[in-house]
Chain A
């Protein structure tokens, strides 16, 4: 296995690109389940944003196929029972350095955003996981994850379908901050 790429610690907040859509809300970990349920319930009210339960399996299988088709090799697409999970591994970072600009990240996400725009009957949760969060580091992380959310919304994905969750996880590599995208079906009549 090749050695892990050394990462620099967070040194400065990333610049937020100009957002044309309203900001995506950052959800606190303790209320994440509740907010996700409420959001899906709200989306399910609109037939355009929701599917019948019989279609869920097919929808997610096809969606995971499409995401695999578009994802670059550094991104892992996993079909789970609940939906589809994308692990960005080293493709997206919560750090900001010269080599990785928000514009580049958005370009890297473009094939995926294109698919997600088409598969609109889903709720997308962008999840940032770091080992330790404090008042000093949290704003930078949130700012960075918001940039990624903006990539989605700027590409035409409704901000109502996107949530941001910043969480602490003691098991996370101290030098790494993981970004995941969890896509869940919005099922008509469920809440």
Chain B
């Protein structure tokens, strides 16, 4: 898989994973927030209901204890009045009775007959006996809660113990001492507390949300509440909507970030940067020929970029791109490293040979260039004069720093050539201010040789001007023997162009060099 394809897959996967992760995190966060809110809400409700029931239970016990100690003739009017007042002040009380053993002697309330369930659910050490609501305590369809202490008992309608207010969809069941005491609505069917985790839980199958709370005051009370899941969502709609909007914004931001990243990754500049870092910039060599002897005396190193998919990128495209994206220096350094090492392979055999390396605008100011040149040349065991540095006319800046830099390079032994001469607008005086060795005449002027065009005379002026400045000349883009002849006649020493050879890989160049030498010598 190519790097480009890998990047695409990576970007897509990262995008999907990122969005999924973000949305997942957001959903989890919202769920936790909602559950925490629900927990607090249900917990408060359970605490209120539990406290109320516990208070009622304790109150009923205390009431019976007081009746037991009451100093009134049993079943007298005053005794019955006391029972009546107690019943009236407690809306959940259905009856209060006075008993002797298993005979109810008198009572107030709504129970027409004495209720004698077969088995008590609790007989406390205090003497309180209690019967939880069940079939054995059912009267007129209502399962009552009974409590007896001493000779008095009380019957309670448990439906009155839980009041959920206007929450019609909500169900609740209250368990007292591990036994179900009451539910709202009365026929609600809720799971036992022990089957649920403490706090809020979700039953996806039933689409209901459950909450279980335990209170351990005077009596152990457990409350289970339940309601449709949609109520839960509705209650937290604002949070969820805000979360959804936030999620969309984050997802959009993430998508945009991925898009930008992908764009950046897919851009030619990034690919070039990556190629420079990976050492994928290759070098080809265009032979330079002595126009008098036609012997190959050197080569111009030219950078080439072959993309991963095998396509070559034209220097006209990638050199400006490298300059724009700020990697031109790296390209130059890469060419220096490669070309100097390659030259070493043929230099000894050639006797004397010059390698021309193009410098881009700004390379002169890069401290690394001098270091790289020194290191590479030393490693290759070459003399400094074997490396000629070519600077385009247009990249020459009228600055003391550039002048000093050129001077320093020349002092080291390097020749300095002005490349593509004639395409800029350098004046004689301007050129004079730099210490140069060679002027390379641009192909545009070489092409006019032997032709009757308006610029035909320019090349002669360039040659004259170079001569007047004491500079040698070289011609670029030589394609015909007539051009060679004309250039030689006018004192141009070196030439390069397709007439001699197109730019070659190092192995091909070495073959060309040997062949050229062999032909010239024979």
Please give the residue numbers on chain A whose beta carbons come within 8 Å of chain B beta carbons, in ascending order.
51, 54-59, 61-70, 79, 118-121
Contact = CB atoms under 8 A, between A and B. Distances in A.
B124 A55 contact: no
Contacts of A67: 127
A111 to B, nearest CB: 11
A31 to B, nearest CB: 30
Interface string B95-106: 000011110000
B128 interface: yes
B89 interface: no
Given A54-B116, A57-B117, A57-B118, A62 B124 contact: no
14 contacts: A57-B117, A57-B118, A58-B118, A59-B101, A62-B102, A62-B148, A64-B123, A65-B123, A68-B127, A69-B149, A118-B100, A119-B101, A120-B101, A121-B101
The main secondary structure of chain B at its interface with chain A is loop
Q: When A and B form their complex, which 5 residue pairs have the shortest distance between CB atoms, in order from nearest?
A: A69-B127, A57-B118, A61-B120, A58-B116, A65-B129
B311 interface: no
Of A54, A57, A61, chain B has the most CB atoms within 10 Å of the CB of A61
B491 interface: no
Interface of B: 99-102, 116-120, 123-129, 148-150
Contacts of B116: 54-55, 57-59
Contacts of B101: 59, 62-63, 118-121
Contacts of B127: 65-70
Contacts of B119: 57, 61
B132 to A, nearest CB: 13
Contacts of A66: 127, 150
B65 to A, nearest CB: 10
B150 A68 contact: no
A51 B102 contact: yes
A64 to B, nearest CB: 5
Contacts of B128: 65
A64 B123 CA distance: 7
A62 B100 CA distance: 10
B126 A59 contact: no
B124 A68 contact: yes
A62 B148 CA distance: 8
Given A61-B129, A65-B148, A55 B102 contact: yes
Of A67, A69, A79, chain B has the most CB atoms within 10 Å of the CB of A69
A144 to B, nearest CB: 28
B331 to A, nearest CB: 93
Given A58-B118, A61-B123, 8 more contacts: A51-B102, A57-B116, A61-B129, A62-B120, A62-B129, A64-B123, A67-B127, A68-B124
B123 A58 contact: no
A169 B261 CA distance: 92
A65 B119 CA distance: 12
A56 B125 CA distance: 21
Contact of B123 (A51, A59, A68, A121): A68
A55 B39 CA distance: 47
Contacts of B125: 68
